[in-house]
C-alpha cells in the first residue's frame, strides 16, 4: 500500500480498535494492570475522539472484567469508558447466549470470565456439583483464565466433553507482551490439555475469531471495512484485521517487530507498521490534511 492509498484508507476509518498490552500499556500484570502507559497512547485516543470516530480497547486476557480494566486504563490517564473495553469473555458470553440460549454451560474462570455470563443470566453449571461428579448435561465447556484449574476440574470438564459438550476457549495466545517477565497465557494451555485428554477440538472466541470481529463491529458501530485494528501481535490483531477486511496496523512496542511483519504470511501481514502510537497520530493528521486539501 503506497502513501496515498494509506492516507485514503485512514481518512475513511470511522472506528479504531486498540490492543492493550504492548500497544497502549506495557506491564507485567494482566490487561495493563500497573506498568507504564506507552508514548502516544493518550494522544491517539484523544485524536480518535476529537475526529468523531468510535474507539474500543480489546485485550485477549480474561482475568479481569471490563470495569476493572477500564479503571486501570483511566488510572493511566487513558480516556476509555468501561463499555469501550472488550475481553474475550464478553465475546464468549454473547456467543453462548446466541448459540445455546438457556442450555447449561460449564464455565471455568474467575470473575473476569464469569461476570458477563452472570449479567446475561445464562444457565451456568454449578462448579461444585460438577466437581462432585454429578452429571452436568452441559452443552458447552468454556475455558477462560483459571489459575486454579487442576486435576479435578480437568476430570469434570473432560466428562462433560465426552458426554457431548463442545469446547470453547476465550484465548489460546501462548503469551502477552510484558515489561520484563514472560506473561504466559493460561486459557489456551488448559484448552489444549482438555483437547488432548478428550480428542475433541476447541474453538477460540477471542481475537482473531469471527465472533470477536462481529462483537467489535457492533461495539464500534461501523462496518469492518471502515475499522482500523492496531496491536503488537501479528497472529492476533493483524490476522483479525485481514479476516475482517479492516485496515490493520502493527505497533512494534510489544510482541512483534517490523522484521517479523515483513516475513509474515499474507494472512497475518499488516497494512502498515508504526514504531509507536505517536507515529499513528502523525499519520492520521497527515491523512486529515490531505483530505482537506483535496476537498478544498
Using one digit for the tens of pLDDT, what is the confidence trace for 89-118?
999 999 999 999 999 999 999 999 999 999
Task: Read off the pLDDT of each residue in 129-141 and give the average, rounded to a whole number.
Answer: 94
Q: How far apart are CA 240 and CA 222, in angstroms?
A: 16
pLDDT at site 58 = 97
Confidence of residue 285 (pLDDT cuts 50, 70, 90): confident
| Res. 43: pLDDT tops 70 | yes
Same domain flag for 99 and 34: no
Domain-terminating residue out of 158, 181, 204: 204
CA distances in angstroms from 236 to 8, 104, 217, listed in the order given: 25, 30, 16
pLDDT at site 287 = 84
**Are the C-beta atoms of 287 and 10 separated by less than 8 Å?**
yes
Using one digit for the tens of pLDDT, what is the confidence trace for 190-240?
999 999 999 999 999 999 999 999 999 999 999 999 999 999 999 999 999
pLDDT at site 289 = 63
Look at 26-40, 135-149, 184-198 and tell me which has the smallest mean pLDDT: 26-40
Same domain flag for 77 and 118: no
Same domain flag for 77 and 95: no
Same domain flag for 26 and 166: no
Same domain flag for 41 and 123: no
| Res. 294: pLDDT tops 70 | no
The 10 Å Cβ neighbour count of residue 242 is 21
Confidence of residue 295 (pLDDT cuts 50, 70, 90): very low
Same domain flag for 198 and 270: no
Rounded percentage of the chain residues whose pLDDT exceeds 70: 93
| Cell numbers for 103 | 442450555
Domain-terminating residue out of 183, 204, 225: 204
Q: Residue 100: which domain range?
A: 89-204
Domain-terminating residue out of 204, 236, 253: 204
| Res. 168: pLDDT tops 70 | yes
The 10 Å Cβ neighbour count of residue 129 is 12
pLDDT at site 173 = 85
**Are the C-beta atoms of 45 and 55 separated by less than 8 Å?**
yes
* Class of residue 49 by CB neighbours under 10 A (exposed 0-12, middle 13-18, buried 19+): middle
Task: Read off the pLDDT of each residue in 27-31 and give the average, rounded to a whole number.
Answer: 62
Same domain flag for 215 and 289: yes
Same domain flag for 184 and 290: no
pLDDT at site 222 = 97
* CATH assignment of the domain containing 74: 3.40.50.1000
Same domain flag for 145 and 58: no
Task: Read off the pLDDT of each residue in 51-69 and give the average, rounded to a whole number.
Answer: 94
Same domain flag for 83 and 155: no
The 10 Å Cβ neighbour count of residue 123 is 15
Average pLDDT, the chain: 92
Confidence of residue 34 (pLDDT cuts 50, 70, 90): low
Same domain flag for 107 and 185: yes
Same domain flag for 82 and 117: no
> Per the structure, how many domains does the chain have?
2
Amino acid at each position: 500500500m503506497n502513501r496515498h492509498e494509506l492516507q485514503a484508507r485512514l481518512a475513511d476509518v470511522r472506528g479504531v480498535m486498540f490492543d492493550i498490552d504492548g500497544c497502549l500499556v506495557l506491564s507485567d500484570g494482566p490487561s495493563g494492570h500497573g506498568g507504564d502507559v506507552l508514548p502516544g497512547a493518550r494522544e491517539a485516543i484523544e485524536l480518535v475522539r476529537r475526529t468523531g470516530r468510535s474507539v474500543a480497547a480489546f485485550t485477549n486476557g480474561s482475568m479481569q472484567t471490563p470495569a476493572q480494566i477500564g479503571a486501570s486504563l483511566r488510572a493511566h490517564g487513558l480516556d476509555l469508558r468501561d463499555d469501550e473495553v472488550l475481553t474475550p469473555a464478553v465475546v464468549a458470553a454473547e456467543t453462548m447466549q446466541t448459540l445455546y440460549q438457556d442450555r447449561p454451560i460449564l464455565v471455568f474462570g474467575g470473575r473476569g470470565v464469569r461476570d458477563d455470563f452472570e449479567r446475561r443470566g445464562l444457565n451456568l453449571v454449578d462448579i461444585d456439583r460438577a466437581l462432585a461428579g454429578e452429571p452436568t448435561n452441559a452443552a458447552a465447556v468454556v475455558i477462560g483464565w483459571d489459575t486454579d484449574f487442576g486435576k479435578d476440574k480437568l476430570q469434570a470438564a473432560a466428562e462433560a466433553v465426552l458426554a457431548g459438550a463442545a469446547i470453547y476457549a476465550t484465548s489460546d495466545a501462548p503469551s502477552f507482551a510484558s515489561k520484563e517477565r514472560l506473561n504466559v497465557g493460561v486459557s489456551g494451555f488448559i484448552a489444549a490439555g482438555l483437547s488432548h485428554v478428550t480428542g475433541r477440538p476447541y474453538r477460540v472466541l477471542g481475537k482473531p475469531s469471527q465472533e470477536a470481529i462481529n462483537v467489535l463491529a457492533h461495539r464500534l458501530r461501523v462496518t469492518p471495512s471502515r475499522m482500523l485494528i492496531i496491536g503488537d501481535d501479528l497472529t492476533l490483531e493483524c490476522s483479525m484485521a485481514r479476516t475482517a477486511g479492516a485496515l490493520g496496523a502493527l505497533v512494534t512496542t510489544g510482541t512483534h517487530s517490523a522484521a517479523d511483519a515483513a516475513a509474515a504470511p499474507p494472512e497475518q501481514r499488516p497494512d502498515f507498521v508504526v514504531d509507536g502510537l505517536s507515529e499513528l497520530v502523525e499519520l492520521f493528521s497527515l491523512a486529515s490534511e490531505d483530505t482537506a486539501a483535496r476537498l478544498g
